[in-house]
Chain A
């Protein structure tokens, strides 16, 4: 573990029992997150990216591996010690309305987070609420509004204000802009970037929107069926994707063409992501992989370094 990491995830795995079968949600994932940086978690439905985010926050217990946050093994902390740590690790969800109590005013919802963490006197907390609202670009008047009275973008700002109020060092952002309009998405992305600069926050940014991930992330981890298929600095990954799945993902991005002549040709991509209940043997991507060889069908490829700080799990990427 590098000395400067805020968060270190080591060989974390999580399996869920579904009836008599076992769902491999997360398989042997490791990464470090230095302070003030953003890790983008990318993958499609069923890739395990949200489960991994919840494991980091210890909202779900891992079956194997450990999560070190500020040098402490979260799995070994008592409930009380964990509650104290939660002040430093917050979360923002996709649906801001669902994550806010509909019967609580915005001010009360934010203050509640402070009360749980036993921060400040009542008077001080009021000031902190106003301060948090101001940081996310909302007027203090919003304090007395109920969540349903706000627009989607404002609700998400409240979600961010609530997370910020307790003074976190890490915020797990789980698809925080997916349900917002594009013009509002850009507002929230800019807000998250500005807050990171001002406050030195670290983010784990979970998203299927690769453009946003590219803009926000320092490093990006690509998951497929719960496994890391590629992990690299964002710039390097987007310039030089080495895993066929990462390439497939990037090929699926629809950029605005320069003219009708340069429009995308729509070619059917073979196959669907297999069920995590029955992951294929060998490389989990081999049934859909355009370059798979016999070895891929039987031998799971290890993560190997393909260039500096760039690892990929592909027999043919070396």
Chain B
């Protein structure tokens, strides 16, 4: 396997709240290879967005990184100052958000916004940037680029705005694209269009993508490897086929069970995961999923399961992983 493009080690993130500290990301480690697409799956509060936003210096004001490293092109992203990080963000790492309106300036023509990134990063001259913006608009599937260049974000539909956002994110040909729920706010047919666009871009550019999503359907169809997060920890990670054939964490299995697929089935008994995910107000010393887990034992309430390596690059953080695997097999 080639050297990773990004290698995150023992990342910790905390948020200061009026009622104390929330431990949002707790010792998360993962890496992504050049050209690879990794899906980070989890529910709200799992820390999936927080972990990635922390790498980019995009945490809310009350959040801070309290530990870890994030190696990218020989530098530790977590040790860089704001200017150094801004230099990398948008040039070497592109970002696409769920709500394109958050990433777009409503008072600026979209063409100027796409050009701005290229000029700030000294990626292109004014003339080159202008021509490249027209090319990018065409590449992301926006008809009539010369006319649309002059439009403002509100003049676009949600799907078209997300295309503009993607054009901005890839303008400087980043090696890594971080896409945070890029299709969640979109209609299903538009979701397919955006995923088709990202699929084309990653193939043509050999760009790595980290896709943050709550949707197992999106993750398993789009990604080469899946990371499942819960309570600020990685619960399970495996290459796609291993993940599909041998899901081994009770939380992952419960997530599969929560997918309501529109197919005929005799057994339509729903088995929801009981309870809700609570924010962690103390540093977790035990499995964060234990309170909702149907397989939890006393040990799970007191002892943190470590991520353990099984066959086929399959990592699982569960005391009972062997039993779960043999049961499913």
- Does B61 sit within 8 A of A, measured CB to CB? no
Contact B268 A215, beta carbon cutoff 8 Å: yes
- Whether the pair B241, A260 counts as a contact (CB closer than 8 A) is yes
For residue B159, CB closer than 8 A to chain A, the reply is: yes
> Do B262 and A257 touch (CB < 8 A)?
no
Given A208-B188, A210-B188, are A256 and B244 neighbors across the interface (CB < 8 Å)? yes
CA distance A243 to B115 in the complex (A): 42
Q: Given the complex of chains A and B, what is the CA–CA distance between A56 and B278 in angstroms?
A: 38
Which residues of chain B come closer than 8 Å to A72, judged between CB atoms? Answer: none
Of the stretches B101-109, B211-219, B296-304, the one at the interface is B211-219
Given contacts A186-B272, A214-B262, contact A259 B244 (CB under 8 A): yes
Flag whether B1 is at the interface (Cβ < 8 A).
Answer: no
B interface bracket (residues with beta carbon within 8 Å of A):
35 or more
Inter-subunit contact B221/A183 (CB<8 Å)? no
**A15–B71 alpha-carbon span in the complex (Å):** 56
A interface footprint on B182-205 (CB within 8 Å = 1, 0 otherwise): 000001111111011101000000
Q: Which residues of B contact A267 (CB under 8 A)?
A: 192, 196
Q: Is A184 interfacial (CB 8 A cutoff)?
A: yes
Whether B128 sits at the interface, judged by CB under 8 Å, is: no
Q: Which of B157, B159, B272 contacts A187 (CB 8 A)?
A: B272
Q: Is the CB of B189 within 8 A of A182?
A: no
Report yes or no: B244 in contact with A249, Cβ–Cβ below 8 A: no
B76 at the interface (CB under 8 A from A): no
Please provide the chain A residues from 240 to 255 with a CB less than 8 Å away from any CB of chain B in the complex.
Answer: 248-255
In whole angstroms, what is the CA distance A82 to B222 when docked?
50
Report yes or no: A183 in contact with B196, Cβ–Cβ below 8 A: no
Question: When chains A and B are docked, how far (Å) is the Cα of A174 from the Cα of B16?
Answer: 35
Q: Give chain B residues whose Cβ lies under 8 Å from the Cβ of A197.
A: none
Interface size for chain A: under 10, 10 to 19, 20 to 34, or 35 or more residues? 35 or more
Q: Tell me whether A253 and B262 are in contact (CB under 8 A).
A: yes
CA–CA, A252 and B259, complex, Å: 15
Contact B220 A268 (CB under 8 A): no
Instruction: Give the residue name and chain of the B residue nearest to A275 (CB).
Output: B157
The interface residues of chain B lying within 8 Å CB-to-CB of A279 are: none
> When the two chains form their complex, are residues A268 and B141 in contact, meaning their CB atoms are under 8 A apart?
yes
Contacting residues of chain A (212-256) with chain B, CB-CB under 8 angstroms:
212-215, 235, 238-239, 248-256
Is the beta-carbon distance between B276 and A153 smaller than 8 angstroms?
A: yes
Task: Give the distance to chain B from A27, nearest Cβ to Cβ, in Å.
Answer: 20
Contact status A256-B259, CB under 8 Å? yes
Q: Judge whether B5 is part of the interface by a CB distance below 8 angstroms.
A: no
The CA of A152 and the CA of B191, in the complex, are separated in Å by 25
Across the two chains, which residue of chain B brings its CB closest to A237? Answer: B262
Q: Which of B141, B160, B187, B262 contacts A211 (CB 8 A)?
A: B262
Chain A residues, CB < 8 A from B263: 214, 238, 255
- Find B189's partner among A252, A260, A266 (CB 8 Å cutoff): A252
Can you report 5 residue pairs joining A to B where beta carbons are below 8 Å apart?
A: A186-B257, A189-B270, A266-B196, A268-B192, A272-B190
